[in-house]
């Protein structure tokens, strides 16, 4: 709530002191009550104070009367509200003075209740004007901030209207901003409004006006307006804000002119790259300097182990891949990698992995929609853990494709084997022979064949032979022993045993039964 000052001007000491001391001015938000003995004395005091809110002046005074004082104020201090006290014989004259900017007048003797009522009205008028002025100023400052951030043409907004405005800018950014991507547009709008309200409430509690604009879906730029007379503690602001959400903060290292915001904002954006390195209170300043070597060694050994785990070792084990991803990001933490450096390493590593993937799958490889084949939005994924989350997703996608490829390849191998078996089951075909044809080990082929067909190799072959024998028994005059040899059995007794197992009859009985039918 604003407070105001009033100047009481009267050449009679008892009147001016009486008005100064008997009226409860604080009731009307007036914290200072000055006095002057005539118009010239009033002007000296007003000019010395740099202006005043209210003047209550007698009309008839020596040296400079109240009307002359009102005229001076109207010309030199138009924001001042002037009220005259006049005798009855001066009333008509004083009334004309309203045309010169006098806001109101009182007749002698002064009625205190009337005076208080008129003062209260003028204070409310001052409040209304101050509200409009503040809104206009706030809008102008906001426009200047927009101009600085979004590079509007300077002629569209006057940056010189408030050349002395000081601001203290800072950026708040939600940790693990990937959560924002999960919000609907309506949900994002609601969350952003909550975010701004939280910032505004915190800064207002500390006594500062603030302007906030979203410069990114996960970055809110806030400018504290003219905190020049107050000490601000960024840690205190951070603690007030982070009781609802987990934020990180990038603060300007100093108060700046609003016209210097563009350069300072670019500096704040650069410092964003250092966010994973901060610990205490999640606050970092624009003059932050990192104590480490300029270049970080590329983790070639970890890359080699990842590729070995993904493509060379059988079977592919997800837990081993996860282990090496964790090792990689522990390496980033130990060596204080910046966000951009983490992205560059992940991007390069994924490209190397994709070359292996394409070489393995050849023509059947498909383009994968991996995060790190493109630039990652580091304003959203602004921590080691959130970037690790994306890298894990990329490798999981590759592992799924490799597993699918393995299944497809297994299906293709078994189809090839089945074609070969169907063609050569009448011979002395063996497991090793088929395994050699499809270029795998006999053990792997036996296991894979059982998984895909539900039968072991010998059962599959014998079933084909029995079905062929049935056809020959029905449609040809060949002896059973001859048919046994034709379908691939070298021993007659074994043929009879296998035939009975699959059909429930001996070959001879099967021929008799089918012949009767």
Residue 207 has pLDDT above 70, yes or no: yes
Would residue 153 be called left, alpha or beta, if left means φ above 0 and alpha means ψ between -120 and 50 degrees? Answer: beta
Residue position matching structure tokens 């980033």: 332
Count Cβ atoms below 10 Å from residue 111 Cβ, excluding itself: 12
Label residue 12 by pLDDT band (50, 70, 90).
Answer: very high
- Of the pLDDT bands very low, low, confident and very high (cuts 50, 70, 90), residue 237 is confident
362 pLDDT tier (thresholds 50, 70, 90):
low
Flag whether pLDDT at 140 surpasses 70.
Answer: yes
Q: List the one residue out of 75, 73, 5, 363 whose CA is nearest residue 84.
A: 73
Structure tokens at 227: 């905190």
**Using an 8 Å Cβ cutoff, are 470 and 503 in contact?**
yes
Whether the Cβ atoms of residue 261 and residue 149 lie closer than 8 Å to each other: yes
Question: Is the C-alpha dihedral spanning 48, 50, 52, 58 positive or negative?
Answer: positive
Q: What does the alpha-carbon distance between residue 138 and residue 35 come to, in Å, rounded to a whole number?
A: 34
CATH topology classification for 419-516:
Arc Repressor Mutant, subunit A (1.10.10)
- Classify domain 4-129 by CATH architecture: 3-Layer(aba) Sandwich (3.40)
Give bridge partners of residue 8 from the DSSP assignment: 35, 56
- Domain 166-285 = CATH 3.30.70.1230: yes
C-alpha of 288 from chain center: 22
Q: What is the mean pLDDT of the chain?
A: 84
* Contact of 326 with 393, CB cutoff 8 Å: no
Give the DSSP letter of residue 342: H
| Res. 153: pLDDT tops 60 | no
Q: What percent of the chain has pLDDT over 70?
A: 86
Strand partners of residue 238: none
Residue 313: pLDDT band with limits 50, 70, 90 = low
- Tell me which residue has tokens 């990114």: 216
Q: What is the pLDDT of residue 99?
A: 65
Q: Which tens digits make up the pLDDT trace of 74-103?
A: 989 999 999 998 876 666 665 666 666 788
SS3 at position 99: helix
> Which of the pair, 92 or 53, is modelled with greater confidence?
53
Answer whether residue 248 shows pLDDT above 90. no
- Cβ atoms of 35 and 65 closer than 8 Å: no
What are the distances in angstroms from CA 281 to CA 83, 171, 237?
A: 55, 14, 10
Cα(46)–Cα(77) distance, integer angstroms: 9
pLDDT at 174 > cutoff 90: no
Those residues with Cβ within 8 angstroms of residue 99's Cβ, 6 or more apart along the chain or in another chain: none
Tell me if 169 sits within 8 A of 252, measured CB to CB.
yes
Question: What pLDDT score was predicted for residue 98?
Answer: 65
What 103-107 contacts at long range (C-beta under 8 Å, 24+ apart), as own/partner pairs, is none
At residue 137, the 3 state secondary structure works out as helix
pLDDT level of residue 400 (50, 70, 90 thresholds) = confident
Residue spans of the domains in the chain: they are: 4-129, 166-285, 300-407, 419-516
Q: Tell how far CA 428 is from the center of its chain.
A: 69
Q: Where are the beta strands (DSSP E) in 290-420?
A: none
pLDDT band at residue 242 under the 50/70/90 scheme: low
Lowest-confidence range among 178-182, 255-259, 287-291? Answer: 178-182
Taking the C-alpha atoms of residue 410 and residue 404, their distance in angstroms, rounded to an integer, is: 10
- Residue 187 or 239, more confident: 187
> Where does the pLDDT of residue 160 fall: very low under 50, low under 70, confident under 90, or very high at 90 and above?
low
- Tokens for 78, please give them: 């138009």
51, 209, 321, 405, 458 from 230: Cα distances, Å: 23, 12, 54, 66, 91
């Amino acid at each position: 709530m604003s407070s105001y000052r009033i100047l009481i001007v009267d050449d009679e000491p008892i009147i001016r002191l009486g008005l100064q001391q008997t009226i409860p001015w604080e009731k009307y938000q007036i914290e200072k009550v000055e006095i002057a003995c005539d118009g010239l004395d009033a002007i000296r005091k007003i000019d010395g104070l740099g202006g005043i809110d209210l003047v209550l002046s007698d009309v008839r005074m020596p040296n400079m009367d109240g009307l002359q004082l009102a005229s001076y104020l109207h010309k030199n201090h138009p924001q001042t509200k002037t009220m005259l006290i006049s005798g009855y014989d001066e009333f008509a004259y004083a009334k004309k003075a309203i045309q010169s900017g006098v806001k109101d007048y009182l007749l002698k003797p002064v009625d205190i209740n009337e005076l208080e009522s008129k003062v209260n009205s003028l204070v409310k008028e001052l409040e209304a004007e101050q509200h409009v002025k503040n809104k206009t100023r706030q809008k102008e400052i906001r426009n200047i901030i927009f101009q600085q951030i979004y590079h509007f043409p300077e002629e569209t907004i006057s940056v010189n209207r408030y050349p002395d405005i000081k601001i203290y800018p800072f950026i708040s950014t939600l940790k693990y901003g990937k959560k924002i991507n999960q919000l609907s547009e309506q949900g994002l709008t609601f969350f952003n409004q909550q975010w701004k309200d939280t910032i505004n409430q915190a800064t207002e509690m500390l006594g500062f006006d603030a302007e906030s604009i979203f410069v990114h879906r996960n970055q809110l730029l806030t400018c504290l307006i003219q905190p020049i007379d107050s000490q601000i503690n960024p840690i205190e602001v951070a603690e007030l804000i982070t009781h609802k959400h987990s934020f990180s903060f990038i603060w300007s290292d100093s108060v700046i002119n609003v016209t210097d915001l563009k350069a300072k904002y670019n500096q704040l954006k650069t410092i964003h790259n250092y966010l994973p390195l901060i610990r205490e209170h999640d606050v970092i300043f624009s003059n932050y300097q990192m104590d480490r070597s300029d270049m970080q060694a590329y983790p070639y050994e970890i890359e080699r182990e990842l590729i070995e785990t993904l493509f060379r070792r059988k079977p592919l084990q997800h837990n081993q891949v996860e282990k090496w991803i964790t090792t990689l990001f522990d390496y980033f933490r130990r060596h204080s990698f910046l966000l951009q450096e983490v992205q560059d390493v992940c991007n390069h590593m994924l490209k190397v992995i994709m070359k292996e993937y394409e070489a393995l799958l050849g023509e059947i490889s498909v383009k994968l929609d991996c995060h790190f084949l493109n630039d990652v939005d580091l304003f959203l994924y602004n921590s080691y853990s959130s970037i690790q989350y994306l890298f894990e997703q990329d490798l999981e996608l590759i592992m799924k494709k490799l597993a699918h490829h393995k299944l497809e390849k297994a299906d293709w191998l078994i189809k090839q084997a089945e074609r070969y078996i169907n063609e050569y089951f009448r011979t002395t075909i063996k497991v090793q022979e088929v395994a050699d044809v499809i270029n795998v080990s006999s053990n792997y082929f036996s296991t894979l064949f059982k998984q895909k067909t539900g039968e072991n190799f010998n059962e599959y072959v014998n079933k084909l032979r029995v079905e062929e024998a049935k056809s020959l028994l029905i449609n040809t005059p060949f002896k059973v022993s001859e048919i046994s040899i034709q379908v691939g059995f070298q021993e007659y007794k074994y043929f009879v045993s296998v035939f009975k197992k699959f059909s429930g009859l001996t070959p001879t009985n099967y021929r008799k039964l089918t012949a009767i039918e």
